[in-house]
Structure 1
Amino acid sequence: MTKETVESDVNFGLSGINLEGKVIDMGQGIQLRPTFAHLFSTDVLAFAQPASPLSFHPGPWQAVSRRPGVDITAELFIPKEYGHKRVKRIEVGHTIISLLRLWYDPRVTTQVLTKGPIAPMRDRKDKGGEFIGMIHGGRERFVEIAPVAGDNDLTKIDWVAENWSAAVDLRGESTEFDFALDTFDNAQCIPNTAMMLVSIWGALEAIFSPHKAELVFRVSAQLAAFLEGRGATRMAMQREIVKLYNLRSAAAHGSPKHGSSDLIATFHLLRMAIIRMVERKSVPDKEALEKLLFEA
């Protein structure tokens, strides 16, 4: 499927998003649009062998368990005509979905990857057990981060539509940005909160510690300078970042002292840093950070 997907449309079936019947034009032929399918988790028995090793067992099937599935309520469609000089079409989709988690709702999850829209698959003729798509991206999240009630309104998707292209460019240009975005997406799937904390700070260190001297001060001061203007608010943020960073050090050395609020606060730091980079269309280098820190 990976090789074929390069030459075909790419369609991501998403859960955790209600478009209220609206089709959202993301630009360059890319659309976010409503759909419906239910992905079953129930175990089933088949009674005949598949026609080939790469096809599924033909029906009839019988259920042997009852497990909750998930509703696919939207799809992100990327046409084969769209291309980026550095980033593969699938990674472009991952980037847009990451921004939906970043700005709209962190619970948005990819469930399936298909070559075309989901609705027409209902009427597809049998093709000898050929798969219509593949499970893609659905993983257990061990820390549930959710927006404040009412914050995940559809107008927030406008920000994603305006900024995804810049985020894709940054992903193609900067390994540090790529790492930061992947960390934001994947840290919740780490089953140990100390490892989550270390992972998030690893992404922040990659950007905000150009060298290792005076690491705590450099990271905290430069991150605060990147997120806040000069004054008391920046100073207070720098002190709070130092506290969070010390909790990261305790976790990294096997003596975790953090609580859930500390973990959420650290996630928020990474989230805000990514948003600033996307809006500014650049990843700060050593010179830019020192200017923010020392110049009036």
Structure 2
Amino acid sequence: MFDNNKVYLGMSDVKVSFDELVLPKGVIARRAYAHFMSPHMVALESPTREKLAPSPWKTVRGSGDKIVHWELEVDLTQKPEGAEADDYVKTIVSLLRLGLSPQLHCFLISSVSFASKAEFNDSEPEVSLWETNRVLVLKGAYDELSQSTFGWIAENLERCMDLIYKHYELKLAVSSLDEVHFQQSLPMSLVLLWGALEAIFTKDKAELRFRVSVMISSYLEPDGGDKAYLLYKKVAKLYNERSKAAHGDNSVKQDTLLQTYELLYKAVEKIFEQNSVPTKESLERSLLG
């Protein structure tokens, strides 16, 4: 379906209160409904080079059951030069989860609009599962999204997308914030988030625990003082947990993951606000200022 100029993402878990909203870069959000049902079948013989697995195929209890509440139309001709189509789609969904609601779930992707019933029925749509079930589900502020809720996305989607594709460390951060929703292992999720923090805040490989902790603190609390010191102590403690997870300790608690998620979220939020990824020089100036 990525051979098409457009794809349609089936969005679930949060509804929209409007019929259609045009966003930058050829992205359109519109109300739609689809109930995706997939009964399970099992073949008990191996396929051969000549043919698929021979019958009988046995139907079994259980099914996949996904409901689409609205769709996102994505114009793939608008993707940055050199970007892969599937990566571009994932990045848009990641930004929507950051800017709208972490509850958003994109179960399905289609070659045809779910909202266009006549076109859907008269064509041969290709519909595939896109995202797996989430392990970490964070509650958003809204169960229904209005046009005003999309305000930040409408104003900043194009700018943030350009920034992401110009800076690998920011792209890693946005991707990491998204991947933890689907990661089965808490320790691996923690290492994932800290890998993104280190990419932004350690431009060389000096003693990492102190350097990354003090750089994050000076970036998020540039006025210094007690707030910066208390944040430094908190970050250093979280980094200790990251080190334990990286070395096979399975005692990581979910609260540690959530605190680290919040830390990276605040850093990404500030980067988008300033429209700039911090450099080694700017971090050192902030620290010594």
Please, what TM-score do these two structures have when normalized by structure 2?
Answer: 0.84
The residue aligned with 2:54 is none
Hey, which of these two has a bigger chunk of strand by percent? 2
- Which residue among 223, 236, 242 is the counterpart of 2:230? 236
The residue aligned with 2:111 is 115
Matched-pair contact (CA < 8 Å) for 1:92–1:168: no
Distance 2:160 2:91 in 1: 7
**Are 2:282 and 1:285 aligned?**
no
- Which residue among 147, 159, 167 is the counterpart of 2:140? 147
The residue aligned with 1:275 is 269
- Which residue among 89, 99, 103 is the counterpart of 2:99? 103
Deviations 1:143-188 (A, max 9, x none): 222225x487533321122121122112221111111111111123
- Which residue among 67, 70, 80 is the counterpart of 1:71? 67
User: More deviation in 153-162 or 95-104?
Assistant: 153-162
Aligned to 2:127, the other structure's residue is in SS state strand
Deviations 1:64-110 (A, max 9, x none): 53436121111111235535335355444322221221132212122
- Which residue among 227, 232, 253 is the counterpart of 1:259? 253
Unmatched runs of 5 consecutive residues or more in structure 1:
46-52, 54-61
Distance 2:281 2:201 in 1: 11
Alpha-carbon RMSD across the aligned residues, in angstroms, is 2.8
1:95 to 1:152, Cα distance in 2 relative to 1, 3 A: farther
Distance 1:82 1:88 in 2: 12
- The amino acid across from 1:228 in the alignment is E
Distance 2:15 2:98 in 1: 16
1:173 to 1:217, Cα distance in 2 relative to 1, 3 A: same
Matched-pair contact (CA < 8 Å) for 2:11–2:70: yes
**Are 2:78 and 1:85 aligned?**
no
Q: Number of residues paired by the alignment?
A: 275
Matched-pair contact (CA < 8 Å) for 2:111–2:127: no
Please, what TM-score do these two structures have when normalized by structure 1?
Answer: 0.82
Distance 1:279 1:267 in 2: 18
Deviations 1:98-152 (A, max 9, x none): 122113221212222223421225654566xx5x12324321222222225x487
Distance 1:41 1:222 in 2: 49
1:134 to 1:227, Cα distance in 2 relative to 1, 3 A: farther
1:109 to 1:122, Cα distance in 2 relative to 1, 3 A: farther
The residue aligned with 1:57 is none
- The amino acid across from 2:8 in the alignment is N
Distance 1:97 1:125 in 2: 26
Percent of pairs with identical residues: 29
